């Protein structure tokens, strides 16, 4: 996807602070953190929104969630707690149209979200 910001990050055309990478997934710091720890976990294939998921993507999405839980342990926030969020489309607050899982931690997060 030529004009996708996150695809450019995956291709290393834009610099980010990477916390995890394998053949399928990249995890890096959010540029505008909403919590002291705010990491984005993204698939390396371009999927614009959760609406584009097919059943075949289930293992990939499971691996995104597993990666977030692994990073939560690595950053020692798993006991205090953390939040994982996929935003979808306008009402969900999605601004980058390449699926990403937010990992937010190290402050008390409110519920319900605004
Ligand atoms: P969304 O609102 O789509 O759920 O989340 C998009 C996230 O991407 C936002 O939290 C935003 O701060 C982050 N973001 C936008 N542009 C960049 C960028 O160039 N680099 C990084 N690291 N994060 C970005
Ligand atoms: Zn993309």
Looking at the structure of the chain, the number of domains it has is 1
Does position 2 have pLDDT exceeding 80, yes or no? no
**Closest residue by CA, ligand 1 atom 15:** 31
Q: Please report where in the chains the tokens 């969630």 appear, as a residue.
A: 65
CA of 32 to the centre of ligand 1 (A): 7
User: 3-class SS at 7?
Assistant: helix
Inside any domain, residue 114? no
Q: Could you tell me the pLDDT band of residue 55, with boundaries at 50, 70 and 90?
A: very high
Inside any domain, residue 55? yes
Inside any domain, residue 111? no
Res 114: pLDDT: 83
Pocket of ligand 1 (CB under 6 A): 5, 16, 28-32, 40, 87, 93-96
Inside any domain, residue 17? yes
Q: Could you tell me the pLDDT band of residue 1, with boundaries at 50, 70 and 90?
A: low
Sheet containing 82-85: give its strands across: 18-21, 25-29, 37-43, 101-105, 82-85
**Marked catalytic residue, from 19, 38, 100, 102:** 100
d(CA 83, CA 39) in angstroms, rounded, equals: 11
Ligand at shortest distance from the CA of 41: 1
Inside any domain, residue 77? yes
User: What integer best gives the mean pLDDT of the chain?
Assistant: 97
């Amino acid at each position: 996807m030529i004009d996708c910001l996150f695809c450019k990050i995956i291709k290393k055309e834009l610099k980010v602070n990477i916390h995890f990478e394998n053949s399928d997934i990249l995890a890096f710091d959010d540029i505008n953190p909403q919590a002291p720890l705010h990491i984005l976990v993204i698939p390396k294939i371009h999927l614009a929104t959760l609406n584009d998921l097919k059943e075949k993507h289930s293992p990939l999405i499971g691996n995104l969630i597993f990666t977030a839980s692994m990073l939560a342990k690595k950053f020692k926030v798993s006991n205090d707690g953390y939040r994982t969020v996929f935003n979808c489309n306008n009402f969900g607050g999605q601004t980058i149209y390449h699926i990403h899982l937010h990992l937010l931690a190290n402050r008390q997060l409110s519920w319900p979200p605004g």
